[in-house]
Amino acid sequence: MTLSIANMPDVQQTIVKFANYQMDDLAFYEFCRQNDHLKFERNPDGTIVAMPNTGGKTGNRNTKITSRLDAWSETHGGLVFDSSTAFKLPNGATRSPDVAWVSDARWNELTEDEQERFPPVAPEFVVELMSKTDVLAPAKDKMQEYIANGVQLGWLINVKQQEVLIYRADGTIGKHTDFNEPISGEKVLPGFTFNLNLLMR
């Protein structure tokens, strides 16, 4: 097995191509477990992407969103996941959104084994929080992929530009540019709002 690794200067991620070797889902899961000090995603064609570790500011911002969504879910149901959780999407990609929410109905359709590994389900809600080194175009592509695979609502948060792109299942993309106004979970997360000013600290 040989590796071809190319560092991308504008974004801290590494593309890892395995020549003459394709991992099935179980092999990829075990590969990730054996390298649990690293974080991986997988493209639909099987290409493995090594993701950067989260920096301090981004990690704290992720926690603020995750904790408040989790508090909401205690009343409204569903399960909340942080950025360490990988989901296998219908197109074959394996993605780890920064924050995700899966309804009880979708979660309970999975077997216990599926729940234990990389759940083969598209969360209804995802958040991608751009770090200082992230590039906008690939982040937008990932959001479109989420929607195409069954995600109902997605937020792409760019703190530096104070902008949130809101991706919806109907194909519309909204824009929220006032961080003094909370952002809504709309019909997917009824009653959930998040104060974006929390991300400015």
Which pLDDT tens digit goes with each residue over 6-39? Answer: 333 334 445 555 544 568 888 888 988 888 888 8
* pTM (predicted TM-score): 0.87
Q: Map out the domains of the chain as residue ranges.
A: 3-51, 56-200
CA atoms of 93 and 96, how far apart (whole Å): 10
* 138-165 confidence digits (pLDDT tens): 999 999 999 999 999 999 999 999 999 9
∠ at Cα 140 (134, 141), nearest 5°? 110
CA atoms within a 13 Å half-sphere pointing along the CA-CB vector of 133: 13
Sign for the CA dihedral angle at 108, 109, 111, 115 comes to: negative
State the CATH architecture for 56-200.
Answer: Alpha-Beta Complex (3.90)
